[in-house]
A = this chain, B = another copy of it.
Amino acid sequence: MIQKFYPHKKIFLITNNSTRTRQQILEEKLRSFNFELDIKYIYSSAYVSSQYVKQNLIKDTNQQEQSVYIIGQNGLKQEMKNNGIRVINDYDDTRDSIEIGSDEISSMEVDSSVCAVIAGINFSFTYRKLCLASLYLQLNNSTFIATNSDKYFTTQVKDRHMPAGGSIVNAIIGGTLVNPILIGKPERMTFEIMIRDHNLEEESLSKFLMIGDNLLTDVLFGNNCGIDTLVVLSGNTSESKAIDMFINKNMSKEEGIPTYVSPYFGFSSQNLS
């Protein structure tokens, strides 16, 4: 268990992943690296989205008179349901029609219970879903929530990136001119909810350290929260990039600036067993 190395520290996992529930992140990801963590320390963009909806949008006490429309994977829908939020499209929508015409748009019944459209990466995204999101935003004045604005995922092969949640979100912005509330890193929201959940309001910011491999999300998140950051060079950020930043002072406004740099971060699985 990772925390045996740091018995007096709280360790949180903050991830922009929106495709899995927290339980799935633990079982399918962390445990495959021999990491064990109580799910109350896991902050995924799906979980934080559910907390935002509960705190800001759900007004009725039994929570069943309001609902959300999800463009996302099943894990996002399940995380909402795990947190008591009704999902209006709680079924396998990969079998829905891809298309929609103006006649159907003009005449279809639009469920007035939908108070939010929540969009993240969806491998079965279609024009029809885009239109439904657009309808809820127009007719219900629903709140538009983006789990994250990540541009793309890398795959096993260089130069074969896959568009990520941000591209889905961009389509909805482009077709509705509505800007979303952004949930995941580099936004501060996860930090605020985490602090509240764990009663850390009184802790000095100097006692936090954000560790990650991505300047655009992890490090900028730390910067936005006013806490120190450690960037590791074993992933998204290369050594030459770090040299360019620190030796050549070549910095971009969009990227965060790390406090510390380390070539790697990890434990051997032997130590953890």
Contacts and interface: CB of A to CB of B under 8 A. Distances in A.
A173 B155 CA distance: 19
B151 A124 contact: no
A177 to B, nearest CB: 6
A168 B105 CA distance: 18
Contacts of A172: 163, 167
A102 B159 CA distance: 12
Contacts of A227: none
A160 B135 contact: yes
A247 interface: no
B105 A155 contact: yes
Contacts of A155: 102, 105-106
A137 B12 CA distance: 37
A94 B98 contact: yes
Contact of A163 (B123, B152, B176): B176
Given A155-B106, A160-B106, A99 B124 contact: yes
A102 B147 CA distance: 21
A138 B157 contact: no
Interface residues of A, number: 46
Given A123-B99, A124-B99, A126-B126, A163 B175 contact: yes
A124 B127 contact: yes
A75 interface: no
A122 B174 CA distance: 14
A153 interface: yes
Nearest to A100: B123
Contacts of A162: 100, 102, 105, 131, 134, 175
10 contacts: A94-B98, A100-B123, A105-B155, A105-B162, A106-B156, A135-B160, A152-B175, A162-B175, A170-B171, A171-B171
Given A105-B162, A122-B127, 14 more contacts: A94-B99, A106-B160, A123-B127, A125-B126, A127-B168, A134-B162, A134-B163, A152-B176, A152-B177, A161-B176, A163-B174, A168-B174, A170-B170, A170-B175
